[in-house]
Amino acid sequence: MLALYKFLCNFNYPIWVLILAVRRLKGKEDKARFREKLGYYKEQRPKKDLIWINALGLGETLSLTLFLEELSKVFSDHTLLLTSSTLQSKIALENIPLSKNIIHQFAPVDNYHALENFLDYWKPEMALFSELDIWPLRTSKLKERKIPLLLINARMNKKKKISRKRLGTLFSETLKEFDHIFVQDQSSKKYFIDFGVAEDKITVNGPLKVAGTIFPDTRIIEEKLKIIFKGKLIWVAASLHDSEENEILEAYELAKSKLPNLVLIMIPRSIELSKYTVKKASRISNSILERSDYCDLPKKNTEILVINRVGELGLWYKLAFISFIGNSLNFKEIKEGKNPFEALQASSVVIHGPKMLEPGYEKLSSLGISDVVVNRYEIFSALVKYSSANHREKKIKRGLDYIKQNSVVVQKLIKYILEIYKKRSLNKALQK
């Protein structure tokens, strides 16, 4: 199956061109830079040795920012090339103040021409692929060139295992190309072993998200919003599944009777869904604003603000006294919660539903860092309780301390990478 896939990658270039053309028409590709995916580059390659780090979309890319910044310090005499596949990830990165030796490009598609151009142009000394963004031709071409290949921050649950099983040997043979795999938890390790990966090639390192992220530089707009929101209590409800929005709005309506200065910031899990969120919110308030542009600022009487912009979570968390982390209430269609660590890092109290099941997430409530809420009434109670600064103080400190102690996850991974890289450099020197 792997041989057939590689054979087809000789001829799939026109298909990729067509796919990207359709995506451009839908506004899903960068019109100036989409050709990077096909192996054509305008960015001048720096003369320094280069390490390639690949992520998939917005969430995966943002979860790497702190790791990238720390890695750039250890490899200060190198260039770090971060690639991703989505337009949203590129937009979000534009406002994040990363080190100058970190550059971004779009990842090449799995086609011989695109990959050969990419590897010939950038000449990576090492490749780090994040989570499960694995393409068979990409991995095999790296191995042909004897470039160390690591899978980092990888996680596999039962659902993902079943979906990968359908690929047959295509997935398992691709996994064997990796020199080492760093997983988020013990369950993931077990599933990777089930796919035939040798146990000594797997290290449980923990999820990088638990150490926090690097927020975009939003100081200018923060100052404007602090003036607009003076005397207000800001509640953020982020990464909302559409089934959760009614609970959030009902809780807001209940809380307004106790907290008349409460402002709700609603952030749907996909910005494309924001128009539906606005429609729901309009049933309980006439003072709603949808923020689609940087200049869309709320007024002093705005009650509900719906965010339709990428990369602004950190901004709103910084302003919030409390944050509800969505995709976590006990609805059938919801599987697991979203990232709560950005809110903790921004000194916001965190509440969430019972479905916080990713590695590192489920510990928060048992450690007294977050509160579990199951419905609108419990959300309402939490809003009222934590409107008092005295009740928030201990929660916020616990959260910040937890983020700080989790920096070891990033440092451990960098230490492993450095050891592998030194071996690579030594082997190259001996071959000369």
Model pLDDT for residues 59-92, shown as the tens digit of each residue: 889 999 999 999 999 999 999 999 999 999 999 9
**Do 333 and 419 belong together in one domain?**
no
The confidence score (pLDDT) of residue 361 equals 87
For residue 432, pLDDT over 70 is answered with no
**Do 245 and 388 belong together in one domain?**
yes
The CATH number linked to 194 is 3.40.50.11720
Tell me the sheet residues that pair with 82.
Answer: 53, 104
Q: Which tens digits make up the pLDDT trace of 190-203? A: 999 999 999 999 99
**Do 362 and 425 belong together in one domain?**
no
Find all residues with CB under 8 Å of 80, minimum gap 6, and list them. Answer: 50, 51, 53, 68, 71, 72, 101, 102, 103
Is the separation of the CB atoms in 324 and 236 below 8 Å?
yes
**Do 206 and 223 belong together in one domain?**
no
Name the 3-class secondary structure at 371: strand
For helices 65-74 and 407-431, give the axis angle rounded to 10 degrees: 40
**Do 156 and 249 belong together in one domain?**
no
**Do 9 and 65 belong together in one domain?**
yes
For residue 388, pLDDT over 90 is answered with yes
The CATH number linked to 317 is 3.40.50.2000
**Do 183 and 316 belong together in one domain?**
no
**Do 294 and 342 belong together in one domain?**
yes
Residue range 79-108: mean pLDDT, rounded: 94
Is the separation of the CB atoms in 233 and 262 below 8 Å?
yes
Q: Which domain holds residue 381?
A: 219-405
**Do 251 and 394 belong together in one domain?**
yes
Average pLDDT, the chain: 94
pTM value is: 0.92
Rg from Cα positions in the chain: 23
**Do 250 and 203 belong together in one domain?**
no
C-alpha distances (whole Å) from 68 to each of 73, 80, 255 are 9, 8, 41
**Do 268 and 317 belong together in one domain?**
yes
Find all residues with CB under 8 Å of 238, minimum gap 6, and list them. Answer: 265, 267, 313, 316, 317, 323, 324, 325, 326, 338, 343
With left for phi above 0 and alpha for psi between -120 and 50, is residue 334 left, alpha or beta? beta
Total of domains in the chain: 2
The confidence score (pLDDT) of residue 192 equals 95
* DSSP code string of 64-106: THHHHHHHHHHTTTSEEEEEES-HHHHHHHTTS---TTEEEEE
The confidence score (pLDDT) of residue 311 equals 86
Give helix then strand counts, H and E, for the chain: 19, 14
User: Which H helix or E strand runs over 173?
Assistant: helix 169-175
**Do 16 and 162 belong together in one domain?**
yes
Q: In percent, how much of the chain has pLDDT > 90?
A: 84
Q: Which tens digits make up the pLDDT trace of 335-387? A: 889 999 999 999 999 999 999 988 888 889 999 999 999 999 999 999 999 99
The confidence score (pLDDT) of residue 198 equals 95
The confidence score (pLDDT) of residue 294 equals 86
Find all residues with CB under 8 Å of 425, minimum gap 6, and list them. Answer: none
